[in-house]
Structure 1
């Protein structure tokens, strides 16, 4: 979002509050907190980041096991230390997620500043699981100048808890770069790619089993799994059990640039997630000219509405790898004549490109002039 929106502004500053979680006793927490305050005051320096913006990296020490309300209070307190008691010097502040980003931003914005919040968390049920957190989130919704969900999968649970804010919660998209074309179009769906966390919610174990079935029919298939997570050891062991060591590659976590390069080098993104509020990876793959096999898990059926068959294949969320297998076979049998990735890419670019999303933000941030010459700040966690 910063990369997309900052170039149109005369100045943009990012306060990147990043949770540093550790197992700490109350005594250790007190000592760490005191030391951190002193060190932060002495070491905080701006560095250049994307879009010509400047970045202040603000680590936030948090004892393991704390709830979201306390985490939000700690973010606000640590940002206050980073600011040295001053207010954020910007007429517009845009926060990432309601808690903790929105809470911290509202407590340190100038009195005359307009504060906006974008929410995309997949774990809102966890964020709102205490009375205190719900009260704090309600305050964020009440006080902010505008509040945006990235999709209905975010907006719907918020409206269940805060129906009185139904007119406040609007939509705004995540931006995706469409600047680089794929060198050669995909001609066969042999090189599978997964990009995301190696966690249960992403359906990665089902993906591996489905790949094994499909590769039994076509030994030329390969699978690259990009990401890190708690299931890595189990997935690696299962690959060995299936005799697929030569066919499956685990890259670990990679930078966004590397992930995008891999999308251009593969034939098919397979994304069998159980729940996505938007599904940035799916849009990024199509921006790279790569067709997708993706579950109807919330965000993707919204982002791909009207271009489902052009983009690839949508499948239901189930507990059976056969669902992925059947979806792949349907897509393989009609590829490429039954798809139109170029059309899907053009459709998505009109909605989610840097230019489209930047224009939407700038219209919201600067309604008085509809220009982009002002000074926003962005506050949020990782």
Structure 2
């Protein structure tokens, strides 16, 4: 850090990188921004010093008359909070609290994040010559307003709530400015690219897909031998299809009482789902451990038999790829993202079913999957192909080619193909808003 807040700092190296993000795992929410942490883990190797600036929104609910006083107190206390901490892959992490109020638009929030980062930097620019921002406004605008004049600023959009941002006139105008000013603009899904291209046709040529990375380093020790332990990982919200999933499980459990279901995640439907499981007489077979940190989610994937992902709409569905990475078959709906991410390997990885408000398609898909398990699947092949599309090395090299003109050419994909292309979809997977 530089300026009056951070004191003197060494001159930035040519391959130093700053990451600006409104989300990053913290002790209270270890899963929040896990995809940003993964991106740092994938891209930091091969860089110089990597510094993550986490501008973290702190919601104020005081009366309006007290808000400014609270901000002034925060301004005085801020220097005591700015202590860089070690982060993944040798990076360092600086958390910058950002006081916000409920009435803000996304554009208002972006300006607040930019202003408080400037305050934390003591008015000096971010020293790194390359800045990578997460999400268009709270990351992208904040980075552009604080980068040094000659910095190369790249933005990655992965928000599933992009439509809400673009529906606000002031936020849409600010977003257009971010697109125009940044050096490069990436999306983690074709769905997001198409939405932005439709809204900003004059800037569509600047938008390029590069996936968020997924780790393929820790598969299960033993292959799956039966499909009895179901797992769901994600938010417990209507869009994720958790209601039909539970109903489908109840039907399948009726013919196979040894089936179990673990529904990992938090959300407004948690209580209703637990009550419904009791009504259906399957409460003993369904567990709700709540939201868990990424390492615990990975452990659960290695210990269960089948990931069931019944979303109605999904920009990517990162848990589907994480499950295959862990050596686990998947039963997933055709909800947007999975059709692209699993293109060419659906049968090898599991079974895909239509989106349905009833449990019928899930039940039928499960029975088809059981009929062809295990010989009709090829999980090792699916894992190799997806590693080539979404693995840390592939995604890291894709970013380095843009960040550093002298980046080495990308290597052959782990599945032997010459084109280890950046992923078409990965997202703000768990609806962190």
TM-score, structure 2 length as denominator? 0.84
Deviation at 1:3, TM superposition (A): 0.9
Q: Is the 8 A contact 2:225 2:374 kept in 1?
A: yes
Report the CA distance between 1:362 and its aligned residue. 0.9
Q: 2:154 aligns with which of 116, 119, 123?
A: 116
Q: CA deviation at 1:32?
A: 2.0
**Residue 221 (structure 2) pairs with residue 183 (structure 1):** yes
2:307 to 269, 274, 277: 269
Task: Write the deviation string for residues 274-325 of structure 1: whole angstroms up to 9, x where unpaired.
Answer: 2222221111110000011111222211110110111111112221111211
In the alignment, what sits opposite 2:422? none
CA RMSD of aligned residues (A): 1.7
Deviates more, 1:123-132 or 1:47-56: 123-132
Q: What's the counterpart of residue 255 of structure 1?
A: 293
After superposing the two structures, state which structure 1 stretch, 254-263 or 293-302, moved more.
293-302
Alignment correspondent of 2:235: 197
Contact residue 95 and residue 116 of structure 1 kept, 8 A: yes
Equivalent positions of 1:121-200 (< 5 A) are 121-200=159-238
* SS across alignment from 2:380: helix
The answer to whether the 8 Å contact 2:229/2:259 transfers is yes
8 Å contact kept, 1:227–1:251: yes
Separation in 2, partners of 1:23, 1:202: 30
Return the alpha-carbon distance in structure 2 between the equivalents of residues 198 and 65 of structure 1. 26
Equivalent pairs, count: 375
SS of corresponding position for 1:355: helix
> Which residue of the other structure, out of 242, 246, 267, is the alignment partner of 2:284?
246
CA distance in 1, matches of 2:46, 2:321: 23
C-alpha separation between the residues in 1 aligned to 2:407 and 2:350? 41
Which secondary structure state, in structure 2, belongs to the residue aligned with residue 148 of structure 1?
strand
Structure 1 residue 208 and structure 2 residue 284: aligned? Answer: no
Does structure 2 retain, via aligned residues, the 8 Å contact 1:17–1:75? yes
1:72/1:101 contact within 8 Å kept: yes
Structure 1 counterpart of 2:343, from 300, 305, 321: 305
Q: For structure 1, which runs of at least 5 residues remain unmatched after alignment? A: 373-379
**Is the Cα contact below 8 Å between 1:153 and 1:276 reproduced in 2?**
no
Answer 1 or 2: higher relative contact order, Cα 8 Å, separation at least 6. Answer: 1
SS of structure 2 residue aligned to 1:56 = strand
Shift of 1:122: 1.1
TM-score (norm. length: structure 1): 0.95
Match 2:402 to one of 356, 364, 372? 364
Q: Paired residue for 1:278, among 279, 302, 316?
A: 316
- Structure 2's unaligned 5+ residue stretches are 1-38, 411-427
